[in-house]
């Protein structure tokens, strides 16, 4: 009987920290923020709010034929091809009617204005 009880105690001591750490590792990291408000009548209100950590933004690699979404583009801005040619000494032609050039990271993307479909990608054109 003593051996059986000792085996159970030894197992609980060995497995206890592992089981205690498992839910903490599985749950997303949250921080709590405490807000304390003092009312004019002397009452104090304390509230605890859970604050989730923001996940880092992931940017896309674009391909011809995809729909372009500016929210998933890094360093998004519209590009004037005349100003680009002067600034970078580039050779960017005028976009076809109904298209525009936009920047996504170091790439220039030719995007349809009406549908947002990508017509062409010029990689590493902006440094």
DSSP character string of 92-117: PPPPPTTEEEEEETTEEEEEETTT-B
Mean pLDDT of 32-52: 83
Hey, which bits of 1-127 come out as E strands?
30-38, 44-52, 77-79, 99-104, 107-112, 118-122
User: Are residues 77 and 103 in contact, defined by beta-carbon separation less than 8 angstroms?
Assistant: yes
**In the 8-state DSSP scheme, what is residue 56?**
P
Residue 17 confidence (pLDDT): 62
pLDDT at 19 over 60: no
What mean pLDDT, rounded, does the chain reach? 82
Residue 7 has phi, psi (to 5 degrees) of -65, -40
Rounded to two decimals, the pTM is 0.55
Q: How far apart are CA 120 and CA 127, in angstroms?
A: 19
Residue 21 confidence (pLDDT): 55
Kindly report, residue by residue over 85-117, the tens digit of the pLDDT.
998 888 899 999 999 999 998 899 999 999 999
């Amino acid at each position: 009987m003593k051996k059986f009880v000792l085996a159970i105690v030894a197992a609980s001591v060995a497995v206890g920290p592992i089981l205690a750490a498992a839910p903490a590792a599985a749950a997303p990291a949250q921080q709590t923020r405490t807000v304390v408000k003092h009312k004019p009548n002397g009452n104090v209100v304390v509230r605890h709010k859970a604050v989730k950590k923001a996940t880092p933004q992931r940017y896309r690699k674009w391909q011809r034929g995809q729909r372009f979404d500016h929210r998933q583009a890094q360093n998004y801005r519209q590009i004037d091809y005349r100003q680009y040619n002067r600034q970078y000494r580039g050779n960017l032609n005028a976009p076809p009617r109904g298209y525009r050039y936009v920047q996504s990271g170091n790439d220039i993307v030719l995007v349809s204005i009406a549908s947002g479909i990508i017509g062409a990608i010029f990689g590493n054109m902006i440094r």
